[in-house]
Structure 1
Amino acid sequence: MKKIFAAIIITGLMSSCGKSFLETLPINSITEEDFYKTPADAYQGLVSAYSVLNWDGYGNIALSSEIASDNCFGGGGASDNGWNQWDKSIKMNDLNSYAWKKYYTGIYRANKLIQKIDAVDFKGDDATKKRYTAEAHFLRAYYYFDLVRMFGHVPLLTAPLEPGNYNIPQASPDSVYMLIASDLKLAANDLPATAFSSIPSGEYGRATKWAAEALLGRVFLYYTGYYNKQDIAGVFSQADAIAAIDDVINNSGHSLIPKYQNLFRASAESATAYAGQNNAEGVFTIQYTYLGMGDQNQQNGNRMQVMIGIRSQNLDPYYKGWGAATVNEALYHSFAPGDSRQTASIISINGEGYADSYKLDDQAQYTGFFIKKYTPLKDKNADDLGGSFQWDNFDNYMVIRFADVLLMGAELNLTANAGKAQGYLDRVRDRAFGDQTHRITLSNKAQLMQERRLELALEGQRYWDLLRQGIPAAKQAIDNPSAQAGFNVSFRAETNGLFSIPETQINLSNGTLHQNTGW
C-alpha cells in the first residue's frame, strides 16, 4: 500500500499525457509547498490527474475484461501467462498490480487537487475554479468505478493520505458507489453544458456535463444489476438515470456517425471517410499520442493497440502487435447477415484473404480472428512517425459512445416508456444495417444485452454486462467446454466475477487488506 499511496511531489509526473490540452511540457521539480498557488498550478494539477487515463498496458480494464468475457481468449505468445490467466481466472501473483497502481495514482492526484484548490488565487474567476473542481470529481469517480468493478472491496480515500497512514481498511462497495454517484452528480451540475459542435478542438478529451451524465447511467445500471439494488445508495434513482441519459441524447449535440465502420481507423472505408479521433459519437474519449517518441516512461501511447495487433507480422493494412485477446469465433458468427458491425469489429484471417500469407508462429489460442477496432495500421504507424510501435500507438479510445447512451436509454425506459425505448434501439440497428428493415420489436432485457454485445463488441463492456445479469448468466455465457486444453474455459462463480487483489498490496498492508473470495 505504501508504494501506491506515498505522497507524490509535483514533478515531471505532470509531463505530456495526451493530445490537445494534455500536451503539456514537463516542468522542473517543485515542492508541494510552492505549488497550487496560481490558476496555472491548478491546471497542471488537473492535467496530472487526467494523465493517468493514458496508463495502459496490463492495467487496461478494457483489454483484461474482454479477455475475461466470452468475447475473447487470452492469446499472445505461447510463453505468455498474463493474458491466459485472465481468460481462465487462474491465480497469478500480482497480475492486476498495474491496474491497482493506476487507479490509486489517479485518485491521489484528483484528491490532491480537490484538497488544494481553495488555496489557489483565481482572481475572481470562479467559473474556472468550479470547472477544475468538477473535472477532478469526475476523474475520481471514473477511477473508483473501474477499481470497484474489478476488486469489489477497496480502500476508500477522499483525501490524500498523510505519511505513516497507509494501512486503510477496505470499504463496502455501497460506500464506494455512494461517493461515485455523489462525485458524478456534482460534475454533471458544474461541468459545461457545451454542445459537441461548440467544443474547441483544444479541449477534446476533457470531461463535460454529458460525459458525467452518461457515466452516471452506466454506473447506475451496473450497480443496481450486480448488487440487485433499486438505486445507488439512496442518492441516485432510476428516474435520475433516465433524466440524465435523456439529457445526453436530446441536448448534448452528440450523435451517431452515419456509417458504423467509419468510427474506427482500422475499419473505415477510406482515410477520408474515417470520422476522426474525436468525432461526434465519442461522449468521453481518452486521448493518446505518439509524441512519447519511444520513451515508455511517458505513457502517452495506446498500449492496448500493440497488445491486440496481429502477432509479429504485418498483413496490409494492419500493423504488427502481440496477438492478445484472440476473438472467439462464436462472437463472429453472432452477427446477422448484413450487419456492418461484424467486419468493422473483427479481422477474419480467412475472410479477408490472409490464409496463405498469415504465419502462426508462436501465437497462442489462435482462432483465426483478431480485434479490428483499435488494431494498429501500417499507414501512419508509430514507427514511421518517429516513435515505437511498442509504446506510441495513438488511436484514441472512446470510453462512452453515443450508441451506448442510446442503448442505456432503451434499457432504462424498457418498462417506463416502451415507445421511447424502441425508438432508441431502432436508431442503433438502422445504422448497423443501413436500412429500417432489420428492426426488432423490443420486449425484454435479453434483446438489449445481445444488442449491446454486437454494438459494443470488443470495447470493454461485455464482461460487466454479463456480471450485472447475475453470476449464473455470466457463467453460462463464459464457460467454453473444449477438448483442446487451450480453449477449455470455466468461469469460477466463487469469485463473483471479481479480480484478485495484487499480492504485493496485501503484503504491504500488514493484514489490513483481505483477498477476494475465490482467490
Structure 2
Amino acid sequence: MVHFFCKIRSAAFAISVIIILTLATSCKKMLQINLPADKITGETVYSNTNTTVAVLNGLYAKLVDYLGSTSVRLAGVADDINAAPFLRTPFYKNAFDVNDSGQSDQFWSFSYGSGIYTCNSVIEGVTASKNIPDASKSKLLAEARFARALMYFYLVNLYGDVPLVTTTSLVTNSNIARSPVNTVYKQVIEDLTFAKENLPSNFVGTDLSTVTAERVRPTTWAASSLLARVYLYKSEWKNAELESSAVIQNSSLFDTVAVNDVFEKNSKETIWALQPNNNQTPGETTSTYEGKAFLPLPGTNISGSQASTNLLTSFEQGDLRKQNWIKFFVDNSQSPAITYSFFYKYKNGSNDSQTSQPQTEYSIVFRIAEQYLIRSEARARQHDLIGAKSDLDIIRRRAGLSGITISDDNTMLSNIMHERQVELFTENGHRWLDLKRTGKVDEVMSIQTKLKDGQWQPFAALFAIPLLEFTLNPALKGHQNPGYPEHI
C-alpha cells in the first residue's frame, strides 16, 4: 500500500493529479481534458465538474483491469478453472508467493497505490472546491466514496484486517496500522450509505445529469447492490434483504433477461458495468478483459483455462447456463478424442481481424441475478423459506430448470449456494469469497488444490501482505498474515 505514498515527497498531490489526468485522457470515449503543465494543480483539477469527472473516468478505466483480473485470478484460486500446465502458477495452486508482485499482491498494490488514493484525492479536492456547484459536488463525492467502498470490500475479504486510508496525507499514510475488518466495514457502509443517498437514480452521462442508455456510471442502485452484498457477508440478513429488494423492485430499470443476452452491453440485467479499454485501432479487439482472458486465441479452439470438473458436474441436466456460458470443442485428431471447454459468458475475445469489431459487451460488475440470490439467502437465514424459494426459482427458471422443493433451512441454503456456483462462476471472485464466508473453503480446497498440483494450507484463505510494505510502513511490522514471512 503505502509504498505509493512514500515515493512521493512534497509535490505528492500535484504529481498524483498529473498521473490521474494522464489516465483519464488516454481512454477513448472518456471526457478529454487538456491543461497546460503549469496549471495542473489540485485547485485546477477540482475547479469544475468536467475536470473532476475526468479524474473519475481515469479511475474507472483502471478498475476495468483491476476487476477483470479479480474475476480471472480468483476464479483460478477457487475451483472454477482447470488451467493448462503453463498457467499453473503458485498462485493458481494456492501456494502464494509473497515475492510475486503480479499475483496475490496485485489487489493490494492497485487499491492502495492508485485506486484509494484517487478516491481520497477527489473527496478532498471536491469538498474544498469553491467552484463546483453543490448538486454536482454531492454526485462526485458519492462516486468517489462508492469506488473506495468497492476496493475496501475486496481488501478485507482477501487480506483480513487492512490499513484504513481515508486521506492523502503522507504523514498519516506512511505509518498506518491495520484496522479490524469490522472497522473497515463500518467505513464501507458509511461510504455506501452516502453514495446511495447522493448518486442519481437514472444512468447519466459525463455531465452527471443527461439520462443515457449507457450503464457505466454508478447509480444509487449500484450502491444498494454493494450494500446488500456487504450486509450478507456481515450476516445482517434483514438489511441485506432490504437493500436487494430496493434494486429488484425497480423493474423499470432492472430485470432478468434470456441467458444468452445477460452479458450484452447495457442489458436490463446490468446494474453497473465498465467499458473495456480499447484504442479502436485496426486489428485491436473490442472485447472485455474477461473475454480476452477466457476465450481461445485467434485460430484455435482451445483456451488455457477450461471449466473445472467440479464446476461442470455441478450443473443439472438441461441447465441453459452450461449450454450457453460454457463452450465445448471435441478434438478428434486425438485417439481417443479429447473434449475441451472454455468459458463463454463473454463471447468477444482476442480478434485477428484487421478491422475493429463493434463493441457489444461491457464487463458487468453488478447484475440483478446476484441481488435475487442475495435476497434468497437473506430470507432463508431468517427462516422465510417461501420467500427464499420464490427468488431462487426466478433464477432457476431463467436457466430452463424447474423450481425447487421447500424443505428445511439447511437444504434451502445448500440449494442457494449451488445456484450461486453455477450462476456466478468466473465473475468478480464470487466463488472464492463464498467458500470463505460460508466456512467451506478448507473442505472444498483440500480436494481441489490437489487437482491443481498443489497442497492446501488453511492459512492460504487470506493472501499475504506484500513484503515491500514491511520495509516502507513501520506500523505493519510484526503483523503479517499467519503462515507468511515478512522478509526473505
Q: TM-score range by the shorter chain?
A: 0.7 to 0.9
In structure 1, the partner of 2:16 is 9
1:508 offset after TM fit, Å? 2.7
Counterparts of 2:105 and 2:266 in 1: how far apart (Å)? 30
Q: Which amino acid in 1 is paired with 2:311?
A: L
In structure 1, the partner of 2:61 is 51
Instruction: List runs of 5+ in structure 2 lacking aligned partners.
Output: none
Between structures 1 and 2, the one with greater helix share: 2
Counterparts of 2:26 and 2:369 in 1: how far apart (Å)? 27
In structure 1, the partner of 2:93 is 87
Counterparts of 1:314 and 1:357 in 2: how far apart (Å)? 18
Counterparts of 2:359 and 2:77 in 1: how far apart (Å)? 24
SS of equivalent residue, structure 2 residue 234: helix
Q: Is residue 260 from structure 1 mapped to residue 245 from structure 2 by the alignment?
A: no
Counterparts of 1:152 and 1:213 in 2: how far apart (Å)? 23
Judging changes above 3 Å, is the alpha-carbon distance between structure 1 residues 385 and 85 closer, same or farther for their aligned structure 2 residues? same
Report Cα offsets for 1:215-239 as digits up to 9, x if no partner. 1111122233xxxxxx4xxxxxx33
Counterparts of 1:147 and 1:176 in 2: how far apart (Å)? 9
In structure 2, the partner of 1:447 is 415
Contact 1:55 1:102 in 2 (8 A): no
Judging changes above 3 Å, is the alpha-carbon distance between structure 1 residues 187 and 131 closer, same or farther for their aligned structure 2 residues? same
Report Cα offsets for 1:361-384 as digits up to 9, x if no partner. xxxxx9832222225447xx3753
Counterparts of 2:219 and 2:372 in 1: how far apart (Å)? 18
Counterparts of 1:223 and 1:116 in 2: how far apart (Å)? 32
1:413 offset after TM fit, Å? 1.2
Q: Which amino acid in 1 is paired with 2:117?
A: Y
Structure 1 residues 94-493: aligned runs within 5 Å: 94=101, 95-104=103-112, 105-122=114-131, 125-162=133-170, 165-194=173-202, 200-201=211-212, 203-224=214-235, 231=236, 238-251=237-250, 253-264=252-263, 276-291=264-279, 293=281, 302-310=288-296, 312-315=297-300, 323-350=303-330, 354-356=331-333, 368-374=340-346, 376-377=348-349, 381=351, 384-385=354-355, 395-414=361-380, 415=382, 417-433=384-400, 437-441=402-406, 443=408, 444-459=412-427, 460-470=429-439, 473-480=440-447, 487-493=452-458
Counterparts of 1:46 and 1:156 in 2: how far apart (Å)? 21
Tell me the TM-score normalized by structure 2: 0.83
What is the identity percentage for the equivalent residue pairs of Structure 1 and Structure 2?
26
Contact 1:382 1:394 in 2 (8 A): no
Report Cα offsets for 1:95-130 as digits up to 9, x if no partner. 33332222121111111111111332446x422211
SS of equivalent residue, structure 2 residue 307: coil
1:511 offset after TM fit, Å? 6.2
Contact 1:303 1:393 in 2 (8 A): no
Contact 2:45 2:51 in 1 (8 A): yes
SS of equivalent residue, structure 1 residue 63: helix
Judging changes above 3 Å, is the alpha-carbon distance between structure 1 residues 87 and 219 closer, same or farther for their aligned structure 2 residues? farther
Aligned residues: 458
Counterparts of 2:359 and 2:203 in 1: how far apart (Å)? 29
Counterparts of 2:168 and 2:282 in 1: how far apart (Å)? 32
Judging changes above 3 Å, is the alpha-carbon distance between structure 1 residues 199 and 223 closer, same or farther for their aligned structure 2 residues? farther
Q: Which amino acid in 1 is paired with 2:16?
A: I
Report Cα offsets for 1:197-250 as digits up to 9, x if no partner. x983365211111111111111122233xxxxxx4xxxxxx3322211111111
1:284 offset after TM fit, Å? 1.7
1:33 offset after TM fit, Å? 4.3
Contact 1:411 1:445 in 2 (8 A): yes
In structure 1, the partner of 2:47 is 37
1:386 offset after TM fit, Å? 5.3
Counterparts of 2:369 and 2:28 in 1: how far apart (Å)? 24
Tell me the TM-score normalized by structure 1: 0.78
In structure 2, the partner of 1:68 is 77
1:337 offset after TM fit, Å? 1.2
Counterparts of 1:164 and 1:127 in 2: how far apart (Å)? 31
Judging changes above 3 Å, is the alpha-carbon distance between structure 1 residues 314 and 431 closer, same or farther for their aligned structure 2 residues? same
1:185 offset after TM fit, Å? 1.0
Counterparts of 2:172 and 2:185 in 1: how far apart (Å)? 27
Judging changes above 3 Å, is the alpha-carbon distance between structure 1 residues 401 and 90 closer, same or farther for their aligned structure 2 residues? same
1:133 offset after TM fit, Å? 1.1
In structure 2, the partner of 1:518 is 483
1:48 offset after TM fit, Å? 3.1
Instruction: List runs of 5+ in structure 1 lacking aligned partners.
Output: 225-230, 232-237, 265-275, 361-365
Contact 1:18 1:54 in 2 (8 A): no
Q: Which amino acid in 2 is paired with 1:145?
A: F
Counterparts of 1:87 and 1:394 in 2: how far apart (Å)? 34
1:355 offset after TM fit, Å? 4.1
